[in-house]
Amino acid sequence: MADLPTLPPAARPGDALTAIDTPALVLDLDAFERNLDAMQAAATAAGVALRPHAKAHKTPAIALAQVQRGAVGICCQKVSEALPFLQAGITDIHISNQTVGPAKATLLARMARHGRFSVCVDHAQQVADLAAATAAEGSTLRIFIEIDIGQGRCGVADAPAVLRLLEALAPHPQLHFAGLQAYQGGVQHVRGHAQRRDAAARAAERTAAVVAALAAAGVACPVVTGGGSGSVEFDLASGVYTELQPGSHVFMDGDYGRNEAGTALRFEHSLFIASTVMSVGGGGRCILDAGLKSLAVDSGLPAVWQDGAPSTTLAYTAANDEHGIVRLADGAAAGATLPPLGSQLLLVPGHCDPTLNLHDQLVVVRGGVVQALWPVAARGLSR
């Protein structure tokens, strides 16, 4: 058994992009860095803190790059997801979600002994769980009360409900009210620019109304945090948010790419799945080695890229577990042909977040040459 082979890496630094063993998740470092720089510059110019969301990338190297550019910290969506980031040296982490039960509260309270952690609540039982855990661990937590500003998911409905939760917090000095969590995910993929602007304005108005009602009751909100990649230009200009949580802007997946962009604040596709033509069996199709176990299709099938741009010749038409079917696109030029066996194609996934969760590492490429392999260290951490 000692001579059993081990799985080699998909690539090594110095390899050509075309030499990557596929399917593999590829990050275009130049486009990625421009995306990070553009978002940080916009937030800085608006005087709004940037706390990018790590649920999109699950990769400590990316979070470190964001903090180095000026981000105040990061968001995670689950308690366990935060662990690899804390271990990598990111110590200001907001859990932009609720927790329930002693197991999660205890893990969060233990992590809070090593950093500045915050978490959302929308029910008194969550407060009780967190109070018990932090008292036992000797730690403190910043608490954000989430308000529902139109998504119909988590969050309390209005200012009176916020005040009731503040009463639940009052007996627990280790739990510090930090402000409001206000996120409307439904705004992010409204396609039309004007329609998205109006939807973001409605969400901001609901948030502002709660802040004003709390102020009238003598309660200040130190931080109002929320927003996303699709609404960021409107969130920055709203005057409501003091902190924003965009995540997908680092990659710009296919779903975000279908939004109509209306300003100079634009982001580039930087995330691709490298895939290889593994069969050319006929019937006007070729078969790739990247299917459902390599990319998420909940937000649409991936787009084929050729020569650094979306292909006008090829269309990814169906995904099976380990196969992707590619055909000539509608409107392809006369005489267009399918790529031959062994050809490499790049795919832009429809939804970056669950696609990252299917991969162990990012192959980081600059100028067609592999620079590094970045572990997707929070992959699978959904507890």
pLDDT digits (tens, 9 = 90+) for 276-322: 999 997 889 999 999 999 999 999 999 999 988 999 999 999 999 99
Check whether residue 283 and residue 352 sit in a common domain: yes
Check whether residue 244 and residue 349 sit in a common domain: no
**Res 64: pLDDT:** 99
CATH number at residue 240: 3.20.20.10
Strand pairing of 303-306 and 344-348?
antiparallel
Residue 8 in this model has a pLDDT that exceeds 90: yes
pLDDT tens readout for residues 176-223:
999 999 999 889 989 998 999 999 999 999 999 999 999 999 999 999
Q: How far apart are CA 213 and CA 262, in angstroms?
A: 33
- Amino acid sitting at position 38: A
Check whether residue 245 and residue 299 sit in a common domain: no
Check whether residue 222 and residue 368 sit in a common domain: no
| Residue 261 belongs to a domain | no
| Residue 149 belongs to a domain | yes
| Residue 241 belongs to a domain | yes
**Res 261: pLDDT:** 80
Q: Tell me the pLDDT of the chain averaged across its residues.
A: 96
Check whether residue 102 and residue 136 sit in a common domain: yes
**Are 19 and 11 spatial neighbours (Cβ–Cβ below 8 Å)?**
yes
| Total residues belonging to the chain | 383
pTM attached to this predicted model: 0.96
Check whether residue 336 and residue 362 sit in a common domain: yes
What is residue 325's three-state secondary structure? strand
pLDDT tens readout for residues 132-177:
999 999 999 999 999 999 999 999 999 999 999 999 999 999 999 9
Check whether residue 61 and residue 131 sit in a common domain: yes
**Res 305: pLDDT:** 95
**Res 283: pLDDT:** 85
Average pLDDT over residues 224-232: 95
CATH number at residue 331: 2.40.37.20
The first and second tokens of residue 164, run together, are 């009731």
Give me the DSSP letters along 118-164.
Answer: EEEE-SHHHHHHHHHHHHHHT--EEEEEEB-SSSSSSSBSSHHHHHH
**Res 48: pLDDT:** 98
| Residue 9 belongs to a domain | no
Domain boundary among 202, 219, 252: 252
**Res 307: pLDDT:** 86
Check whether residue 348 and residue 220 sit in a common domain: no
Domain count, the chain: 2
| Residue 94 belongs to a domain | yes
Domain boundary among 222, 252, 282: 252
**Which structural domain, as residue segments, surrounds residue 109?**
29-252
**Res 265: pLDDT:** 82
**Res 180: pLDDT:** 99
